């Protein structure tokens, strides 16, 4: 989005260039026809053609240059403004007195103090709605599953991260999002989602207790990824939970704020104490007993 104005200008320039080239080609064709009909007028026609082409090329070059300059200014306006501001700051200070803002810029980071004095460079924190936040979680976990498959030495770390992300995601959906969906989304969809969460929790608990060296560990990660893929598809599909709540009166921005706050809280908590044992809401596994693996 940030580069859209520059890209638009470049696109307009290309379209304009194409149109001008087509026009120039047509003019050349007309002139050659005239030449063939009126040989006596050849010198005058050639002069006119030369003048026309020169005028067209000059205008074309001016338009292209202006578009490029505008595109560069739009793209780098924040950097230019910061540098301008810094140059003003530095002109008023000793050269050996490096203020935190300048140090931050030198480290290619943005200094809060600098940003607050230059409102045009302050990025507005985007308030994401609940759906955008939950979808972002989905994409992150999908990415982690892909990384697990291609990893050799970091499987344990990636599996831990998968468990953390999924645990937090299921908690915020069950504590905040699904309750908000009650009465707005078909009850069957919510029940199925809950059972799918609880099924995933069994595998999450298994992964939390084990390690990639264990038998069946990779298979458990794979099956968990497939379960989650199915669950995410059900939530995001047309007519699924997300699309039903989008069509409702629920304030998704307010819900998004609640979700973001709770997520931050859970990440801090689990970062310190580790992931707690999963809590299921629709089932238990108390009657299951483990047998022996199938042998050849
Ligand atoms: Fe979800
Ligand atoms: Fe879910």
- CA 193–ligand 2 middle distance (angstroms): 6
Task: Give yes or no: residues 112 and 161 share one domain.
Answer: no
- CA 11–ligand 2 middle distance (angstroms): 41
Q: Mean pLDDT, consecutive 10-residue segments, the chain of 296 residues?
A: 63 84 82 71 76 85 83 61 49 42 43 44 71 98 97 96 98 98 97 98 96 96 98 97 97 97 97 93 82 85
User: In terms of C-beta distances under 8 Å and separation of at least 24 residues, what long-range contacts does 3-11 make, across chains too?
Assistant: 3/75, 5/71, 5/74, 6/70, 6/71, 6/72, 6/74, 6/75, 7/71, 9/67, 9/70, 9/71, 9/74, 10/67, 10/68, 10/71
Task: Give yes or no: residues 117 and 140 share one domain.
Answer: no
Quick check: is 267 in a domain? yes
- CA 232–ligand 1 middle distance (angstroms): 6
- CA 115–ligand 2 middle distance (angstroms): 38
Task: Give yes or no: residues 65 and 97 share one domain.
Answer: no
Q: What is the pTM of this model?
A: 0.59
Quick check: is 290 in a domain? no
Quick check: is 50 in a domain? yes
As for how many domains the chain has, the answer is 3
- CA 11–ligand 1 middle distance (angstroms): 38
pLDDT digits (tens, 9 = 90+) for 123-159: 556 778 999 999 999 999 999 999 999 999 999 999 9
Computed on alpha carbons and rounded to an integer, the radius of gyration of the chain in Å comes to 31
In the chain, DSSP finds a helix count (H) and a strand count (E) of 12, 0
Q: Where do runs of H (alpha helix) occur along 38-119?
A: 42-75, 77-91, 100-106, 112-117
- CA 173–ligand 2 middle distance (angstroms): 6
- CA 196–ligand 2 middle distance (angstroms): 8
Whole domain around residue 241: which residue ranges?
Answer: 130-273
For residue 99, CA distances in Å to 103, 106, 118, 121 come to 6, 11, 16, 18
- The pLDDT value recorded for residue 93 is 41
Quick check: is 285 in a domain? no
- CA 124–ligand 1 middle distance (angstroms): 27
- Which of these three, 75, 92, 109, is where a domain ends? 75
- The pLDDT value recorded for residue 2 is 42
Task: Give yes or no: residues 185 and 220 share one domain.
Answer: yes
- Which of these three, 66, 88, 121, is where a domain ends? 121
Q: Which residues pair with 92 in a beta bridge?
A: none
Number of the ligand closest to the Cα of 165: 1
- The pLDDT value recorded for residue 80 is 55
- CA 153–ligand 2 middle distance (angstroms): 30
- CA 125–ligand 1 middle distance (angstroms): 23
Burial of 126 (0-12, 13-18, 19+ CB in 10 A): exposed
- CA 157–ligand 2 middle distance (angstroms): 23
Quick check: is 159 in a domain? yes
Name the 3-class secondary structure at 182.
strand
- CA 274–ligand 1 middle distance (angstroms): 21
Quick check: is 282 in a domain? no
Count of alpha carbons within 13 Å of 162, Cβ hemisphere only? 29
Task: Give yes or no: residues 25 and 156 share one domain.
Answer: no
Task: Give yes or no: residues 92 and 70 share one domain.
Answer: no
Name the phi and psi angles at 114, rounded to 5: -65, -45
Task: Give yes or no: residues 10 and 109 share one domain.
Answer: no
Number of the ligand closest to the Cα of 200: 2
- CA 194–ligand 2 middle distance (angstroms): 7
- The pLDDT value recorded for residue 107 is 42
- CA 284–ligand 1 middle distance (angstroms): 21
- The pLDDT value recorded for residue 195 is 97
Burial of 200 (0-12, 13-18, 19+ CB in 10 A): buried
Number of the ligand closest to the Cα of 139: 1
Task: Give yes or no: residues 112 and 167 share one domain.
Answer: no
Quick check: is 292 in a domain? no
Task: Give yes or no: residues 16 and 88 share one domain.
Answer: no
- CA 27–ligand 2 middle distance (angstroms): 64
Report yes or no: 60 and 24 within 8 Å, Cβ to Cβ.
no
Task: Give yes or no: residues 268 and 146 share one domain.
Answer: yes
- CA 233–ligand 1 middle distance (angstroms): 9
Task: Give yes or no: residues 150 and 211 share one domain.
Answer: yes
CA dihedral 53, 54, 59, 61 (to 10 degrees): 100
For 241, the token pair is: 């939970």
- CA 188–ligand 2 middle distance (angstroms): 14
Task: Give yes or no: residues 106 and 28 share one domain.
Answer: no
- CA 267–ligand 1 middle distance (angstroms): 17
- CA 218–ligand 1 middle distance (angstroms): 23
């Amino acid at each position: 989005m940030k580069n859209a104005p520059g890209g638009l200008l470049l696109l307009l320039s290309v379209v304009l260039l194409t149109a001008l080239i087509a026009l120039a080609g047509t003019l050349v064709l007309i002139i050659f026809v005239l030449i063939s009909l009126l040989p006596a007028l050849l010198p005058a026609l050639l002069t006119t053609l030369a003048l026309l082409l020169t005028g067209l090329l000059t205008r074309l070059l001016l338009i292209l240059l202006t578009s490029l300059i505008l595109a560069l200014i739009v793209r780098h306006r924040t950097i230019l403004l910061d540098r301008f501001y810094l140059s003003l700051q530095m002109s008023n200070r000793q050269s050996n007195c490096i203020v935190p803002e300048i140090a931050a810029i030198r480290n290619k980071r943005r200094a809060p103090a600098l940003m607050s004095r230059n409102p045009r460079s302050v990025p507005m924190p985007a308030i994401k709605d609940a759906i955008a936040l939950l979808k972002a979680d989905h994409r992150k976990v999908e990415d982690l599953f892909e990384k697990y498959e291609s990893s050799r030495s970091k499987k344990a770390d990636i599996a831990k991260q998968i468990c953390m992300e999924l645990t937090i995601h299921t908690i915020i959906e069950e504590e905040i999002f699904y309750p908000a969906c009650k009465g707005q989304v078909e009850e069957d969809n919510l029940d199925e989602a809950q059972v799918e969460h609880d099924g995933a929790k069994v595998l999450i608990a298994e992964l939390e207790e084990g390690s990639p060296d264990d038998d069946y560990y990779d298979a458990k990660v794979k099956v968990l990824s497939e379960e989650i893929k199915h669950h995410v598809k059900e939530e995001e599909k047309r007519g699924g939970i997300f699309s039903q709540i989008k069509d409702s009166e629920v304030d998704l921005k307010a819900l998004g704020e609640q979700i973001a706050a709770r997520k931050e809280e859970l990440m801090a908590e689990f970062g310190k104490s580790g992931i707690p044992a999963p809590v299921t809401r629709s089932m238990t596994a108390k009657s299951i007993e483990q047998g022996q693996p199938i042998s050849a």
